[in-house]
Structure 1
Amino acid sequence: MTEQNRIYPIGTPGKPWGEEEKMQWLQAQTKKRDYREQVLTKLEAMAPRFDIQQYGSLEYSVGQYPLFVVRNKNWNSENPTVLVTGGVHGYETSGVQGALQFIDTELENYSEHFNFVVFPCLSPWGYETINRWNPDAVDPNRSFIDDSPAQECALVMEHLEQADIDILVHIDLHETTDSDNSEFRPAKAAREGEVNTNWNIPDGFYLVGDSENLQLDFQQAVLNEVRQVTHIADADEDGKLIDATVDTEGLISFPVNSLGLCISMTNAMYTTTTEVYPDSARATPQECNQAQVAAVVGGLKFLQ
């Protein structure tokens, strides 16, 4: 699954992109699927069952995108609150569709004991164009920081700050795809003026935890639930996943606060980032969606 490194067609090797290169990149992007059709219509169908609110709108030269958050109607201030985020990277399909499926099939089953705040698609332009970045060539999942350069991050952080909710759990739904090596890592290297080096793409599901607050039992509970749906990724010959040392089977970790990752944006005690592998010959798109649902359910079962 390792692909050969290649020179990206935009920019000059060794020179970081300027505005001209970023515009050239943006102009090369095309719409490949429809946010309204695949996301908003599903939310509209679920509206009678949940509290669904627009929390902002992305304002780009390429278009405007309304953003929505879902909560359970039987909100109880005495219950702990679970935050689920999907579509931080819009191209990671099961992150979005898995979040929607969790809302539709499981959220109500646990709302007696938990409050839920679910952002099913933080990056709708990325979803439509199948992109990791936003239109400004910024990676949202490195931008959950003060004065964020990404509208997607700033809007969700502002909403949570205004809501003033104590979050106990945050599960962020992602994928690792073959296109990480064929497109996104080469593009990142070109943008930064660096030499691209690809990593091995893990075949299977794994988690990314916070190395400064790993909560290993919680991570293991999530993996055990997912294991019933799809296979857990094996470490490569160097004992790594995406070039990171494995903490335990199916789990790696990073200092998420310093990296500006999504799971750093609250003070939640339990946090994890899921990584599904949709290009596996051993998994279907529906299994990938179900694995995302299982990840959230596994975390909830651990806390009950």
Structure 2
Amino acid sequence: MTSASFYPIGTPLQPWGAAEKQAWLAAQVRHRSYADDVVARVDRLRSRFDVSEYGRLVYGDETFPQLAIRSRNWNDALPTILVTGGVHGYETSGVHGALQFVEQHGEDYAGRVNLLVVPCVSPWAYERIHRWNPNAIDPNRSFRENSPSEESAALLRLVAPIRDKALVHIDLHETTDTDETEFRPALAARDGKPTAPEGIPDGFYLVGDTEDPQPEFQQAIIAAVEKVTHIAPPDENNEIIGSPVVAHGVINYALRDLGLCTSITKARYRTTTEVYPDSPRATPQQCNDAQVAAVRAAIDFALGQVAR
């Protein structure tokens, strides 16, 4: 049963207008630095990889360069791998896991694949530890033509040349306790809808594509991550966050219909990782390591299939 959940902005069951969105924006606080945490680490990679600014976000008096990391000596004859993190800026290990993968393992794939890594799609939200951009828009429901989210639109422009060529796209996310306490109530308040608790799964899981689930690919990633951290079990309804569990640690979404990031290419192998950083059984470093293990397993499985 659903019920209206209290949220301190707006009137229950009435969608927000401009005044409510402005009140929400005024309540957001900067907690960390994109320049220090992300840009500085990307800059240190310039000697080993090609780094480009694929866009520039301007929000009030703040400007954020949008950065992409590419394999040096890009070769169109090689398979292309897309790794994205920080679509939801508050999901920390998505950002730091993407960077750690490039730092520690990016060169392992030189001459075998083209890597395109975007470690932080949503820098404003990274600093505010939030899910939305300043316009109260969720970038990960906005990957479609004429996107209302500049974060999403810029990424769509970046990947357009590889849209039909990518072999793998892995998008790095987290599910956190604040999904239940802050972000789901905020979403319901913004849209004037009722909400109900869905629960937070304790562990890592994947979100595949309902239209092309690639179960062997998903299970190869789960097997690799299980060596690093625990996999989320299903709830009493055999679901994770309200979706049926189709295999160990895997649920599926209709990616394109929902405008999710992993719908932006026609890659054969696509998945979204979900790490649980609030678990008493996992540390922040384990969460980063789990993201890295997932990326490596995704690439290795796909290359193994291409080699057959």
TM bin, normalised by shorter chain, reads over 0.9
Q: Does residue 123 of the first structure (1) align with residue 103 of the second (2)?
A: no
After TM superposition, the structure 1 stretch with the greater mean CA deviation from structure 2, 144-153 or 193-202, is 193-202
Q: Does residue 260 of the first structure (1) align with residue 259 of the second (2)?
A: yes
Q: Deviations over 1:123-158 (max 9, x none)?
A: 000000000000000000000011000000000111
Once the two structures are superposed, the pairs formed by residues 267-282 of structure 1 within 5 Å of their partners are: 267-282=266-281
User: Which residue of the partner structure matches residue 198 of structure 1?
Assistant: 197
* 1-structure distance, mates of 2:254, 2:123: 27
Q: Does residue 41 of the first structure (1) align with residue 40 of the second (2)?
A: yes
* 1-structure distance, mates of 2:4, 2:229: 29
CA 1:232–1:268 in 2, change beyond 3 Å: closer, same or farther? same
Once the two structures are superposed, the pairs formed by residues 129-144 of structure 1 within 5 Å of their partners are: 129-144=128-143
* 2-structure distance, mates of 1:232, 1:184: 23
CA 1:165–1:246 in 2, change beyond 3 Å: closer, same or farther? closer
* 1-structure distance, mates of 2:189, 2:203: 28
Runs of 4+, deviation exceeding 6 Å = none
Once the two structures are superposed, the pairs formed by residues 184-195 of structure 1 within 5 Å of their partners are: 184-195=183-194
CA 1:280–1:297 in 2, change beyond 3 Å: closer, same or farther? same
**Alignment check: 8 A CA contact 2:167 2:302 kept:** no
**Alignment check: 8 A CA contact 1:169 1:268 kept:** yes
* 1-structure distance, mates of 2:91, 2:152: 17
Q: Would you say how many aligned residue pairs link Structure 1 and Structure 2?
A: 301
Q: Does residue 67 of the first structure (1) align with residue 59 of the second (2)?
A: no
**Alignment check: 8 A CA contact 1:53 1:69 kept:** yes
* 2-structure distance, mates of 1:113, 1:236: 40
* 2-structure distance, mates of 1:164, 1:240: 32
Could you say what secondary structure the match of 1:208 adopts? strand
User: Which residue of the partner structure matches residue 306 of structure 2?
Assistant: none
State the Cα distance separating 1:165 from its structure 2 match.
Answer: 6.4
State the Cα distance separating 1:236 from its structure 2 match.
Answer: 0.6
Once the two structures are superposed, the pairs formed by residues 45-124 of structure 1 within 5 Å of their partners are: 45-61=44-60, 63-124=62-123
After TM superposition, the structure 1 stretch with the greater mean CA deviation from structure 2, 189-198 or 5-14, is 5-14
* 2-structure distance, mates of 1:163, 1:62: 33
Q: Counterpart amino acid of 1:155?
A: A
User: Which residue of the partner structure matches residue 156 of structure 1?
Assistant: 155
* 2-structure distance, mates of 1:102, 1:300: 12
CA 1:194–1:5 in 2, change beyond 3 Å: closer, same or farther? closer
* 1-structure distance, mates of 2:158, 2:21: 29
Could you say what secondary structure the match of 1:47 adopts? coil
**Alignment check: 8 A CA contact 2:16 2:191 kept:** yes
Q: Deviations over 1:230-274 (max 9, x none)?
A: 010000111110011000110000111000000001111110000
State the Cα distance separating 1:112 from its structure 2 match.
Answer: 2.3
State the Cα distance separating 1:166 from its structure 2 match.
Answer: 1.2
TM-score, structure 2 length as denominator? 0.95
State the Cα distance separating 1:303 from its structure 2 match.
Answer: 2.1
* 2-structure distance, mates of 1:216, 1:48: 38
Identity of aligned residues (%): 52
Q: Counterpart amino acid of 1:23?
A: Q
* 2-structure distance, mates of 1:230, 1:5: 35
* 2-structure distance, mates of 1:300, 1:121: 20
**Alignment check: 8 A CA contact 1:98 1:289 kept:** yes
CA 1:234–1:63 in 2, change beyond 3 Å: closer, same or farther? same
**Alignment check: 8 A CA contact 2:168 2:302 kept:** no
> Which runs of no fewer than 5 residues in structure 1 stay unpaired?
none
After TM superposition, the structure 1 stretch with the greater mean CA deviation from structure 2, 7-16 or 107-116, is 107-116
CA 1:180–1:74 in 2, change beyond 3 Å: closer, same or farther? same
TM-score, structure 1 length as denominator? 0.97
* 2-structure distance, mates of 1:164, 1:215: 19
Q: Deviations over 1:177-227 (max 9, x none)?
A: 000001000000000111121211000000000010000110011111111
**Alignment check: 8 A CA contact 1:5 1:198 kept:** no
CA 1:139–1:49 in 2, change beyond 3 Å: closer, same or farther? same
State the Cα distance separating 1:159 from its structure 2 match.
Answer: 1.7
State the Cα distance separating 1:171 from its structure 2 match.
Answer: 0.1
* 2-structure distance, mates of 1:198, 1:268: 34
